A = this chain, B = another copy of it.
Amino acid sequence: MSVTTPKGFRAAGVTAGLKSSGARDVALIVNDGPDATVAAVFTTNRVKAAPVLWTQQVVRGGVVRAIVLNSGGANACTGPLGFQDTHATAERTATALSRSSARLLIGASEVAVCSTGLIGERLPMDRLLPGIGSAVRALARSGGPAAAEAIMTTDTRPKTTVAAGTGWTVGGMAKGAGMLAPGLATMLSVLTTDAVAGADALDEALRAACRRTFDRVDSDGCMSTNDTVILLASGASGIEPSQEELTAAVTAACHDLAQQLVADAEGATKQIAIEVFGAASEDDAVEVGRSVARNNLVKTALFGNDPNWGRILAAVGTTAAAFEPDGIDVAVNGVWVCRAGTAADDRSKVDLSGRDVTIEVNLNAGGDRATIWTNDLSHAYVHENSAYST
Bound Cα distance from A318 to B44, whole angstroms:
7
Contact of A225 among B45, B77, B118, B314 (CB under 8 A): B314
Provide the A140-177 mask, 1 if CB < 8 A to any CB of B, else 0: 00000000000000000000000000000000000000
Within the assembled complex, what's the spacing in Å between the Cα atoms of A179 and B340? 23
Give the residues in chain B near A341, CB-CB below 8 Å. 47, 77, 79
- Is B381 within 8 A of A300, CB to CB? yes
In this assembly, does A377 line the interface, its C-beta being within 8 Å of a C-beta of chain B?
yes
In the complex formed, the residue of B with least CB distance to A122 is B343
Interface residues of A in 337-362 (CB under 8 A from B): 338, 340-343
**Chain B contacts for A101, CB-based, 8 A:** none
Q: When A48-B325, A78-B342, A386-B303 are in contact, do A120 and B296 touch as well, CB less than 8 Å? A: no
Among residues of B, the one whose C-beta sits closest to the C-beta of A298 is B222
Q: How large is the interface on A (under 10, 10 to 19, 20 to 34, 35 or more residues)?
A: 35 or more
Within the complex, the shortest CB–CB distance from A282 to chain B, in Å, comes to 20
In the complex where A74-B310, A222-B297, A222-B314 touch, is A304 in contact with B390 (Cβ < 8 A)? yes
Which residue from B45, B119, B383, B387 sits with its C-beta under 8 Å from A318? B45
Chain A residues in the interface with B (C-beta under 8 A): 44-48, 74, 76-79, 82, 118-121, 178-179, 183, 220-225, 294-297, 300-301, 303-306, 308-311, 313-319, 323, 325-326, 328, 338, 340-343, 377-379, 381-383, 385-390
19 extra interchain contacts, Cβ-Cβ under 8 A, other than A120-B313, A221-B295?
Answer: A47-B316, A47-B328, A47-B341, A77-B343, A79-B342, A178-B297, A179-B314, A220-B297, A225-B317, A296-B381, A297-B385, A300-B386, A301-B385, A301-B388, A304-B385, A304-B387, A306-B390, A308-B389, A378-B382
